[in-house]
Structure 1
Amino acid sequence: MSAPTAPTAPRPLEGVTVLDFSRVLAAPMATQILAELGATVVKVERPGGGDETRGFEPRLPHGESAYFFAFNRGKRSVALDLKDPRGRDVARRLAARADVVVENFLPGAMDRLGLGYDDLAAGNPGLVYVSATGFGQSGPDRTRKGYDTVFQALSGVMAMTGEPDGPPSKTGIPVADMTSGLWVAIAVLTGLAGRGVSGRGRHFDVSMMDVQLSLHALNAARLFALDEDPARTGTQHPGRVPSAAFETADGGWLHISGSDQHWVPLCEVLGLDGLAADPELRHNAGRVARREDVMTALRAAIARRERDPLLKELLAADVPAGAVRGVREALADPHARARGVVTEFEHPTEGTFRALRTPLRETDGAPPAAGAPPLLGADTDAVLADLAGLGDEEIDELREAGVIQDGGR
């Protein structure tokens, strides 16, 4: 007789229902995290088109969007026309049974629909409501629209990115969207934790602009301490030497970032005995003061070595270093493979598709599985019946009136 199978532990957010009115990237990223940690996430979309990212490139063979797939896994889709008063009534019925509402319309838009925090909390005082906008619920720019790169530009992130003698540059990932998405998730979890103590919900205001400005913690410290407006430094660190990327003999790049205890071992690997013996360079302040001399010597020594053999020597000497890799190489790394960073899901029309796993995991449990992104309206009937309490006749009437859409229609 085989041993009994141990019961599977519930995922951390099982039992939490999230009503998600958001679209595009930042807030959908947050609700995807919640979904893969166990929450039931109901994504409310426009009939006909749905979240506009359903039409974004790159497109897959059967027409679905890989962009949409990246931020909408594990959700249930309800296609509901919020411009119709009957659609808004259904949305209120869904919110009455939800734990969390996430929305990213311009300030005031949800209030005009009768779906703002005050309206919904009146019937559901435990509701955690998160409004994610570009500039927040207050201030002179509150109704201004923007996209990721606009926020990078306005916040100073773009001015800080790139080589000192080159133009400003956007980051290689949509950092404004993705960091804001993390703060939306933090807001939801904070609200749920607070509700566990007080029994009441809260309305959180997440501004993408605020989030980007908060990323300047170290830059602002330099400004406040020295009255110095930080400038672009490329891959170099403004306050530590060495900390930069160096080109190797085979055309690769190697990033080295060391502290005082790594300086002599680094010099020994590179054969820079003179630098290792210089007492002024034993401490970071001395190396910063002589940055150009130190960097010139390091560049010349590293340019004579090939990337991977040099990296192996540096790691053996306990010098913090890493190859500058492309996305393909990074995801194929043995450590990433051992950690199961790349996973896959089964989609009803596109079949097996690879995805990056939600990185939060428990030490004694399986990492979160990647759910499949929903087809537009795939769960409309089931959600309206189960969560809103609508009967078959009511659902049929809404469908015939074009207020709702279910999958395949």
Structure 2
Amino acid sequence: MKALEGVKILDFTHVQSGPTCTQLLAWFGADVIKVERPGVGDATRKQLVDIPGADSLYFTMLNHNKRSIELNSKNATGKEILTRLIETCDVMVENFAPGALDRMGFSWERIQEINPRMILASVKGFGPGNYENCKVYENVAQCAGGAASTTGFRDGPPLVTGAQIGDSGTGLHLALGIVTALFHREKSGKGQKVLAAMQDGVLNLCRVKLRDQQRLEHGPLTEYSQYGEGIPFDDATPRAGNDSGGGQPGRILKCKGWETDPNAYTYFITQAAVWERICDVIGEPEWKTREGYATPPERLDKLNEIFERIEQWTMTKTKYEVMDICNPLDIPVGPILSTKELIEDEGLRKTGTIVDVDHPTRGRYTSVGCPIKLSDSPVEVMRSPLLGEHTLEILKDVLGYDGTAIEKIVESGAVGAASK
């Protein structure tokens, strides 16, 4: 049995943050009905197109397991259909600009009148306050949420990360909020609003940096490299390069082949509990008892020297050889894996984290599968829908319209050509 089987999601989301959320719910078995503008659809269908005439990977990789209906919500008949959908569905998910639903005539109050059990879940850039009406994209969220100011090297500019913590990260937060609201509804019988602000989501993922901000009030951050280098701290959590962010010093180090391979690197953590094993592996057994090296506090001002010596050793090994040698010794290391290596990883394919999907217009492509595994609710990743592919199916099977009514709906222009 699918975990969310029987739950109907009215998906008014577009681009990435909302579709990430609704795709996850679809993977868990919810019936996700994606509402799209007739003849246009989600903007990402035609963004970053790599195969002419086919939906982009941007769209297909964010909209698996959904059904698509074309619907003009400004059309009178379209409004009637939308009202029927609200009556029928359990959750409405949207990431419009603030106030867009009100302008459509579907305020929260109106939605509650139509269906008191409806859960309205929204992604916004900012929560209530000075910036709530501002437009927000991925990198804006990373900057406003604290990620950029703490990413990069101390002597360089702030940097954004390649991980989509603003968009996809917020979608994951929203999915949790929706499932929680559904659980609450089982007890209360009532729907409620769920808000996931992108700034809030990024800040939640940056909580260790907020932790460090408060620690600064009581002294320097001793696990940061600049402490060992004798460089004073300012009044905010600094950028720390590739320091581990925890109590155990860590660095990204070159491996064999780094001169030609931009990803021939490993992350190496000098965990205190395995310090003696590290010393043996790199050929410095005397460091185990040598004054200034034997204990973690003594090593803080020598981290550059220590990691330079470890790198001399890692540069003689491939990143996989480093893993093979260190893992049996419980030395924490991790290879820097490229996107190409991840796509080709047999282990990730076996678990369904990387999947191949067949599509009628673009052929076979590779995508990320469901990152969360449930033992009794396996996930089958199905292709994204073509624009309006399920319009007639939804009108008939979900909303109960008959053939004559459907013909009139199509003639009204409420659902586009509905030729799928």
Alignment of 1:233-312 (within 5 A): 233-251=240-258, 252-278=264-290, 280-312=292-324
User: Measured at CA, do residues 348 and 302 of structure 1 come closer, stay the same or move farther in structure 2, by a change above 3 Å?
Assistant: closer
Kept in 2: contact 1:121–1:127 (CA 8 A)? yes
Separation of aligned partners in 2, 1:239 and 1:357: 30
Deviation digits for residues 7-50 of structure 1 (CA, Å, limit 9, x no counterpart):
xxx11100000001110001101101111111000000001110
Kept in 2: contact 1:376–1:407 (CA 8 A)? no
Pick which of 268-277 and 303-312 moved more.
303-312
The residue that corresponds to 1:79 in the other structure is 70
Kept in 2: contact 1:331–1:341 (CA 8 A)? no
Pick which of 30-39 and 292-301 moved more.
292-301
Q: Determine whether 1:179 maps to 2:191.
A: no
Equivalent of 2:7 in 13, 16, 21: 16
Equivalent of 2:140 in 134, 150, 161: 150
- The residue type equivalent to 1:54 in the other structure is R
Q: Following TM superposition, by how much is the alpha carbon of 1:293 offset from its aligned partner in structure 2, in angstroms?
A: 3.2
Separation of aligned partners in 2, 1:241 and 1:36: 37
Q: Following TM superposition, by how much is the alpha carbon of 1:356 offset from its aligned partner in structure 2, in angstroms?
A: 1.8
Kept in 2: contact 1:44–1:77 (CA 8 A)? yes
Q: Following TM superposition, by how much is the alpha carbon of 1:407 offset from its aligned partner in structure 2, in angstroms?
A: 5.0
Separation of aligned partners in 1, 2:161 and 2:371: 21
- The residue type equivalent to 1:385 in the other structure is K
User: Measured at CA, do residues 107 and 62 of structure 1 come closer, stay the same or move farther in structure 2, by a change above 3 Å?
Assistant: closer
The residue that corresponds to 2:107 in the other structure is 116
Equivalent of 2:413 in 383, 402, 405: 402
- The residue type equivalent to 1:357 in the other structure is G
Equivalent of 2:51 in 49, 60, 79: 60
**SS of aligned partner of 1:159:** helix
Kept in 1: contact 2:5–2:28 (CA 8 A)? yes
Query: What is the aligned residue count?
Result: 398
Alignment of 1:68-217 (within 5 A): 68-136=59-127, 138-217=128-207
User: Measured at CA, do residues 343 and 13 of structure 1 come closer, stay the same or move farther in structure 2, by a change above 3 Å?
Assistant: same
TM-score, with length taken from structure 1: 0.91
Separation of aligned partners in 2, 1:51 and 1:334: 33
**SS of aligned partner of 2:130:** coil
**SS of aligned partner of 2:150:** coil
Alignment of 1:243-392 (within 5 A): 243-251=250-258, 252-278=264-290, 280-364=292-376, 367-392=378-403
Q: Following TM superposition, by how much is the alpha carbon of 1:306 offset from its aligned partner in structure 2, in angstroms?
A: 4.0
Q: Following TM superposition, by how much is the alpha carbon of 1:405 offset from its aligned partner in structure 2, in angstroms?
A: 2.2
**SS of aligned partner of 1:131:** strand
User: Measured at CA, do residues 307 and 360 of structure 1 come closer, stay the same or move farther in structure 2, by a change above 3 Å?
Assistant: closer
- The residue type equivalent to 1:372 in the other structure is R
Q: Following TM superposition, by how much is the alpha carbon of 1:119 offset from its aligned partner in structure 2, in angstroms?
A: 0.9
The residue that corresponds to 2:236 in the other structure is 229
Pick which of 28-37 and 340-349 moved more.
340-349
Equivalent of 2:31 in 25, 36, 40: 40
User: Measured at CA, do residues 384 and 118 of structure 1 come closer, stay the same or move farther in structure 2, by a change above 3 Å?
Assistant: same
**SS of aligned partner of 2:366:** strand
- The residue type equivalent to 2:164 in the other structure is P
Equivalent of 1:218 in 208, 211, 222: 208
Kept in 2: contact 1:375–1:407 (CA 8 A)? no
TM-score, with length taken from structure 2: 0.89
**SS of aligned partner of 1:90:** helix
Kept in 1: contact 2:352–2:370 (CA 8 A)? no
**SS of aligned partner of 1:206:** strand
Q: Following TM superposition, by how much is the alpha carbon of 1:238 offset from its aligned partner in structure 2, in angstroms?
A: 4.6
Percent identity at matched positions? 30
Separation of aligned partners in 2, 1:135 and 1:73: 27
Structure 1: unaligned runs, 5 residues or longer: 1-9
Kept in 2: contact 1:260–1:282 (CA 8 A)? no
Kept in 2: contact 1:242–1:295 (CA 8 A)? no
Q: Following TM superposition, by how much is the alpha carbon of 1:242 offset from its aligned partner in structure 2, in angstroms?
A: 3.1
- The residue type equivalent to 1:396 in the other structure is E
Q: Following TM superposition, by how much is the alpha carbon of 1:364 offset from its aligned partner in structure 2, in angstroms?
A: 4.8
Kept in 2: contact 1:74–1:372 (CA 8 A)? yes
